[in-house]
Structure 1
Amino acid sequence: MAKIKYARRGLLYAILNLKIMVLLSNVLFQGARYMEFGELLYKLSITIFLSTALYFSGLDVFFSICLGHVGNYIFNGQFFVVYRYLFASKVLTKSKVEYVLDCCSNLSDSKHIRDVLFIGSLCRNTLKESSDIDIRIFHNSGLISSLFAYCQATKLRFLGLIYRVPVDVFCFSNLSFLNKIDEREVPLHINREREFMAMYPNSLSVFDSKVNL
């Protein structure tokens, strides 16, 4: 059975929980409300690039923009995160979690990346086959580091599409970004970044967390 996106009751939430509405809202907004301004610009620039290429190939403006936006979603979206709300939701396995952690460990070695953090069910130790993996890439400020982080997030999303892994990935350079998460959650980390650990002194390494799937 598919997951229910909104647990609240009422006509509005009943409409928003319709599968077609869940898919359309995901394609339309592509997680924009979770992005810092820089990542939002990066995301929009991909749509603009694809739309421009399609326009010069002969399509009209409207179809170029629509197809460019959908194309961006296909390879830079997070389809298997929303997939859980559309079909049978048990898509996560222990081997997939280990694969993602290995990718993130390699990413965290970069000089541009301060740490890779994990929130949601993984940090709450409630990970299930119907869960997704919530990843937040904490990167240095500056154009080069930001672009590197955004590109790595795109890579993780694309790998998630190829290997059917529900990864929910976003980037940030200011720890105030973490104010958006549930205040009861303590993110897991990889690098023990000093500023992050000062904010979350009880944070554990993601490799010390238990994955019971």
Structure 2
Amino acid sequence: MAPQRPGRVLGGRRNRPANSPPMRLWLAAFVVLLLGACAPSAPAGLVEVHDERGFTVRYPQRWTQVRRDDAVWFVPAGADRIPDIAEFIVVVTRASAGRLDDPAIRRTVFELLPVQGVSGFQQDTRTTTETLWYKFEVTGASGGQEWASVGVLVSGAARYHVVVCAKPLLKWRDGQKQCDEVVRRFQPGDLNH
């Protein structure tokens, strides 16, 4: 009869092998919980609206829609000093004589809002032969409060849209996820007729 090897003992208990079914189950549960805690959370409460000017945009559920000239502002409920607020989504629709080029795009954005700084202007991957998409990140100030924003200008042969989503500078770290979602999901109307 062969001698038996003693099992591994720690503190008077036999240890289960690391690859035993109960250990694998605990490890799988731990990994699922860890991934759930690290996953980026979706922006809360965005609703979608299709505007009469042809575009589709998402905005926070409890916000108000305000029309001013060629712009549609989406602002927190109770905001009464548009555009002197630091948290907003604005979509501007204007006629154009052809697709805008890089200098015209920059000029349009700088004239639209009280921009103080620029951290990026680049052509977006959604650009096609008919429609130019230009993404940008700018900072500015409204009503004495600084804000950061992301936006996109979408230009066709006959019209263009500019959409900007801004949050107060102190809320930008959390608010950027929501703004990125708004800009990423923006759908322009027909810009070529």
TM-score interval for Structure 1 and Structure 2 normalised by the shorter chain: 0.3 to 0.5
TM-score, with structure 2 as normaliser? 0.32
Using CA pairs below 8 Å that are at least 6 residues apart, which structure has the higher relative contact order? Answer: 1
TM-score normalized with structure 1 length: 0.30
Structure holding more helix per residue: 1
Instruction: Specify which structure has the higher proportion of strand.
Output: 2
